[in-house]
A and B are shown apart, each in its own frame.
Chain A
Amino acid sequence: MDDLLREFITETNESLDVVDVELVKFEQEPNNATILDNIFRLVHTIKGTCGFLGLPRLEAIAHAAETLMGKFREGTPVTPNAVSLILSSIDRIKEILADLEAAEGEEPSGDDSDLIAELERMSTNAAAAPVVEKVAEPEPEMNLNILEQSLERPLRPGEVSLDELERAFRETEVEVEVAEVAVEPVEAPAPAPAPEPVKAEAAPKPARPAKPARVAADADDDSKADASEKKSGGSSVSNQSIRVAVDTLEHLMTMVSELVLTRNQLLEIVRRHEDSEFKVPLQRLSNVTAELQEGVMATRMQPIGNAWQKLPRIVRDLSQELEKPIELEMIGAETELDRQVLEMIKDPLTHMVRNSADHGLEMPSARRDAGKPEKGTITLAAYHEGGHIIIEVRDDGKGLDVEKIKAKVIERGIATEAEVDKMSDAQIHKFIFAAGFSTAAQVTSVSGRGVGMDVVRNNIELIGGTVDLRSVPGKGTSFIIKIPLTLAIVSTLIVEASGDRFAIPQLSVVELVRVQNNSEHRIERIKDTPVLRLRNKLLPLLHLSQLLGIYAGENAEKAIDEDNGFIVVMQVGSQTFGVVVDGVFHTEEIVVKPMSTMLRNLTMFSGNTILGDGSVIMIIDPNGIASAMASHASSAVAEQNEEEAEDLQRRTQTNQAAISMLLFRAGAPEPKAVPLSLVTRLEEFEVSKIERSNGRDLVQYRGALMPLVYVNEGDQHKLEGTQPMLVFSDSGRSMGLVVDEIVDIVEERLNIEVGSERPGILGSAVIKERATEVIDLGYYLPQAFEDWFMRKEMDIQALTKKVLFVDDSAFFRNMLTPVLKAAGYDVTTCVGPQEALDLLENGVKFHAIVSDIEMPEINGFEFCEAMRRDPRFRNIPILALSAMVTPASIERGRQAGFDDYVAKFDRPGLIAALKDVFSGEMGVAA
Chain B
Amino acid sequence: MTVLETNVATGGDMIQYVTVVIGGQLFGLPISQVHDVFVPESVTRVPLSAPEVAGVLNLRGRIVTAIDMRRRLHLPPRTEGTMMAVGIEYKHESYGLVIDTVGEVLTLQAKSAEPNPTNLDKRWAEISAGVHRLDGRLMVILDVARLLGSMFTEPMAAA
Contact = CB atoms under 8 A, between A and B. Distances in A.
B63 A593 contact: yes
B44 A500 contact: yes
A895 B51 contact: no
B46 A549 contact: no
B153 A608 contact: no
Contact of B61 (A258, A601, A604): A258
A484 interface: no
Interface residues of A, number: 41
A553 to B, nearest CB: 15
29 contacts: A258-B61, A550-B45, A596-B56, A596-B63, A596-B94, A597-B91, A597-B93, A597-B156, A597-B157, A598-B50, A598-B53, A598-B93, A599-B53, A599-B56, A601-B153, A605-B46, A608-B63, A610-B58, A614-B58, A615-B42, A615-B58, A616-B58, A618-B47, A871-B48, A874-B48, A895-B153, A897-B153, A920-B71, A920-B74
Given A596-B93, A897-B153, A615 B76 contact: no
Contacts of A874: 48
B63 A926 contact: no
Contact of A890 (B57, B58, B122, B154): B122
B77 A916 contact: no
Given A597-B156, A897-B153, A920-B71, A615 B48 contact: no
Contacts of A845: none
Interface in B124-158: 148, 150-154, 156-157
Given A596-B63, A616-B58, A916-B74, A602 B44 contact: no
Interface string B68-108: 00010010110000000000000101110000000000000
Nearest to B44: A616
Interface in A892-926: 894-895, 897, 899, 916, 919-920, 922-924, 926
A148 to B, nearest CB: 45
B154 A601 contact: yes
A599 B46 contact: yes
A428 interface: no
A863 to B, nearest CB: 16
A801 to B, nearest CB: 17
A141 B63 CA distance: 61
Contacts of B51: 899, 920, 924
Nearest to B154: A601
A261 B150 CA distance: 32
B47 A549 contact: yes
A431 to B, nearest CB: 31
Contacts of A549: 47-48
Of listed A549, A593, A598, A600, residue having the most chain B CB within 10 A:
A598
A666 interface: no
A549 B151 CA distance: 20
A617 interface: yes
Contacts of A916: 74
B65 interface: yes
Interface string B33-61: 00000000010111111110101111001
Contacts of B153: 601, 895, 897
A589 interface: no
Nearest to A544: B47
A261 B63 CA distance: 12
Contact of B56 (A597, A604, A616): A616
A881 to B, nearest CB: 16
Of listed B56, B57, B94, residue having the most chain A CB within 10 A:
B56
Contacts of B44: 500, 608, 615-618
Contact of B152 (A597, A617, A920): A597
A358 B62 CA distance: 50
Contacts of B49: 599, 602
B24 to A, nearest CB: 16
A602 B46 CA distance: 9
A176 B53 CA distance: 71
B61 A261 contact: yes
Nearest to A865: B153
B57 A616 contact: yes
Taking chain A's interface residues, is the majority helix, strand, or loop, or is none over half, making it mixed? mixed
Contact of A923 (B46, B47, B71, B156): B71
A735 B55 CA distance: 48
A922 B157 contact: no
Interface of B: 42, 44-51, 53, 55-58, 61, 63, 65, 71, 74, 76-77, 91, 93-95, 122, 148, 150-154, 156-157
A262 interface: yes
Contacts of B94: 596
Contacts of B152: 597-598
A614 B42 contact: yes
Given A614-B42, A614-B58, A615-B58, A596 B65 contact: yes
Contacts of B76: 919, 923
A298 B46 CA distance: 34
A599 B50 CA distance: 8
A548 interface: yes
A795 to B, nearest CB: 12
Interface string A859-901: 0000000000001001100000000000000110011010100
A600 B46 CA distance: 11
Nearest to B93: A596
B77 A548 contact: no
Contacts of B157: 597, 600
B155 to A, nearest CB: 10
A382 to B, nearest CB: 31
A598 B151 contact: yes
Contacts of A596: 56, 63, 65, 93-95
A688 to B, nearest CB: 42
Contact of A600 (B77, B91, B154): B154
Contacts of A599: 46, 49, 53, 56, 65
A608 B56 contact: yes
Nearest to B61: A258
A34 to B, nearest CB: 46
Nearest to A894: B150
A258 B47 CA distance: 25
Interface in A783-819: none
B114 to A, nearest CB: 21
Contacts of A615: 42, 44, 58
Contacts of B65: 596, 598-599
Given A614-B42, A616-B56, A616-B58, A604 B48 contact: yes
B120 to A, nearest CB: 14
Nearest to B151: A598
Contacts of A610: 58, 61, 63
Contacts of B154: 600-601
Contact of A500 (B45, B58, B61): B45
Of listed B45, B46, B74, B151, residue having the most chain A CB within 10 A:
B46
A874 B71 CA distance: 18
A870 B47 CA distance: 13
A599 B52 CA distance: 11
A81 B156 CA distance: 50
A585 B138 CA distance: 51
A119 B95 CA distance: 62
Nearest to B91: A597
B77 A922 contact: yes
Nearest to A604: B48
Given A596-B95, A597-B156, A920-B74, 13 more contacts: A549-B48, A550-B45, A596-B63, A596-B65, A597-B157, A598-B93, A598-B148, A599-B53, A601-B154, A610-B61, A616-B57, A616-B58, A926-B77
A209 B57 CA distance: 59
